[in-house]
Amino acid sequence: MESRIESMAPGGFGIARIEGRVHFVPETVTGDVVEIEEVSKKRHHTFSRLVRILEPSPSRRNPFCPWYGACGGCDFQHITYPEQLRIKQEIFRNQMQRIGKFEDPETPEILGSKSKRVRMRFQIGNGEVGLFRRRTNRICAMTECAVADPTINKALQVIRKGVKEAPGRSALEGEVTIIAAGGKAHLFLDLPLQQAMALSESMRPPVVGCILGKREMRRITGKPSIPLKTGGVQIDLPADVFVQANREINEAILPEIRAFMEGTNKVVDLYCGCGNFTFPLSRACGEVTGIETSPAAVESARKAALRAKIGNLSFFCRPAAEADLSGTGGIVLDPPRPGLSSGLIKKILRALPRRIAYLSCNPATQARDLRLLVDGGYTIESIRLFDMFPETHHIESLALMRLK
């Protein structure tokens, strides 16, 4: 079948229409004339695969990674970078219109990034290390990742060698997260403890940092934490706690949230982690409270606050929906992809803080939640997009809201 890609869909698919039916086609871009083959037919649409490019779009380029197309890590490398940003703006606007039911929403500005990722998670299995192949659980073995920090790629080489030399290497199966901090690689192994220890011992030269077996949370070698600085405060980050993958974009988001909340008497930072936003807010606001479900993250944040002698800051280990929002003037939200629970939204609409900063990695659930908050009495002051993950379809968006 032949068709022209007319637009892009969430998930990184190009959209083709053949005899009135929508086909979602990966590895394409608006303007491509393509030959496609049906893979999976659904009730209202079809997933198809790209057979060949008949006429390339002006927005198409050659991928710079030799594993592109096989590896499932990136899905936009074949698209020129300005077009990647435009697509993300278009998709976000469409989600606001279709899911959020906002009439004629503005196209938000987007901040691009050339920064390499400082956090990567690789799969280990069958004596190989790499990322999952696209839409499978099979590993695409690789010697380096084109979008990762050089420190991560150096560590990846050591891990690959260690896996190949480890006793019982064919039985090794799990994950390794590598975080680049302070010019060093810090490892977090999700393997059974004995396998993690065997792999650690086979690494030459040893990787500086922390290596833990997730199932038993035991330090094997190196330091038990990762140094991280935010808001001028040094935090010893536990290896299993979430950290943003793009440091450049994270540093661009921080001042926007701080400036919006500045002068607010009481701020609650929900889903706060180790205090990525909480510590900077403590310098601009009155009383600041961080809420997080990870005990290790809360403990690290509390210790950092004590060392820095910050008196207007407190952290509590509990679900976001159980936070005390009474008397709150501002709320910072950075939820996982499912977005906000209905219970939390109801709680926010009872407390009615004057300001809300909502950071999201999922435009669909954010659009849904923004509609509920707007219907509950809020107005959207601004929305800005951030390219946290260049070369992929993923979108990071920050919505700033005020009570009417």
Is residue 279 very low, low, confident or very high in pLDDT (cuts 50, 70, 90)? very high
Please give the average per-residue pLDDT across 291-315, as a whole number: 94
Tens digits of per-residue pLDDT, 229-265? 888 888 888 766 777 889 999 999 999 999 999 999 9
Please give the average per-residue pLDDT across 344-371, as a whole number: 98
Residue 192: DSSP 8-state: -
Classified as helix, coil or strand, 197 is helix
Class of domain 119-227: mainly beta
User: The CATH number of 1-60 is which of 3.40.50.300, 3.40.228.10, 3.40.1350.10, 2.40.50.140?
Assistant: 2.40.50.140
Is residue 209 very low, low, confident or very high in pLDDT (cuts 50, 70, 90)? very low
Residue-averaged pLDDT of the chain: 91
Is residue 190 very low, low, confident or very high in pLDDT (cuts 50, 70, 90)? confident
Count the Cβ atoms, other than its own, within 10 Å of residue 89: 16
Q: How far is the C-alpha of 176 from the C-alpha of 213, rounded, in Å?
A: 10
Rounded alpha-carbon distances, angstroms, from residue 100 to 82, 96, 204: 26, 5, 52
User: The CATH number of 246-403 is which of 3.40.50.1220, 3.30.420.10, 3.40.50.150, 2.40.240.20?
Assistant: 3.40.50.150
Q: CATH 3.40.50.150: which residues of the chain?
A: 246-403
Q: What percent of the chain has pLDDT over 70?
A: 93
pLDDT at residue 191, rounded to an integer: 76
Q: CATH 2.40.50.1070: which residues of the chain?
A: 119-227
Please give the average per-residue pLDDT across 10-29, as a whole number: 96
Is residue 219 very low, low, confident or very high in pLDDT (cuts 50, 70, 90)? low
Q: How far is the C-alpha of 320 from the C-alpha of 232, rounded, in Å?
A: 26
Residue type, 25: V
Is residue 208 very low, low, confident or very high in pLDDT (cuts 50, 70, 90)? very low
pLDDT at residue 362, rounded to an integer: 98
User: Does the structure show a pLDDT above 60 at 214?
Assistant: no
Using a 10 angstrom Cβ sphere, with 0-12 exposed, 13-18 middle and 19 or more buried, the burial of residue 90 is middle
Nearest in space to 190 (alpha carbons), one of 135, 131, 240: 240
Tens digits of per-residue pLDDT, 163-176? 888 877 788 888 88
Please give the average per-residue pLDDT across 133-150, as a whole number: 94
pLDDT at residue 210, rounded to an integer: 45
Q: CATH 2.40.50.140: which residues of the chain?
A: 1-60
Please give the average per-residue pLDDT across 298-312, as a whole number: 94
pLDDT at residue 166, rounded to an integer: 80
